[in-house]
Amino acid sequence: MKAVFPELISLGCRLFLAWLFLYASYDKVWHPADFALSVGRYEVLPVVLVNAGSVLLAWLEFFVGLMLLLGLWTRVAALWSVGLLAMFTGLMIYAWAIGAGYDCGCFPGQSDGHQAGLSAAARDVGFMLPALWLLWRPGRWLAVSVADDHERP
């Protein structure tokens, strides 16, 4: 019975992050030009790389979400989640530091005033917590692959 609680937490973390990344990627995958404009506003990529970078980022979010939903290489997906969320956190802090007042472009329909800044950075740090849990305990319930897991006492 002791092992049930951590498995429930792992399953909840995995499904939450899967929803988060799949939801975030939906508009980006289907409307790449709009997302490229959003990425371009940050001015961290050379102009020539904005289109390719935004398409790559959108599909990366989608596949990370899909891997988490299926429980396929959960630790790998969790590591990618932490990396993406750390990058997003850095971009939100950067946007705040330069005084940029544009929408963060994080989720569909966010042109209603959700600006890049410290609150978005804090939100992304909060999203890292379930990903960090999955790095520690990826769980086995409803998972396609447990090859990256090892037995825990």
pLDDT above 50 (res 112): no
- Looking at per-residue pLDDT, the higher value among 139 and 129 belongs to 129
**Cβ within 8 Å of residue 149, ≥6 positions away:** 74, 75, 138, 139, 140
What's the pLDDT band for 49 if we cut at 50, 70, 90? very high
Q: What is the pLDDT of residue 111?
A: 53
Q: What is the pLDDT of residue 67?
A: 94
- d(CA 134, CA 81) in angstroms, rounded, equals 10
- d(CA 77, CA 64) in angstroms, rounded, equals 5
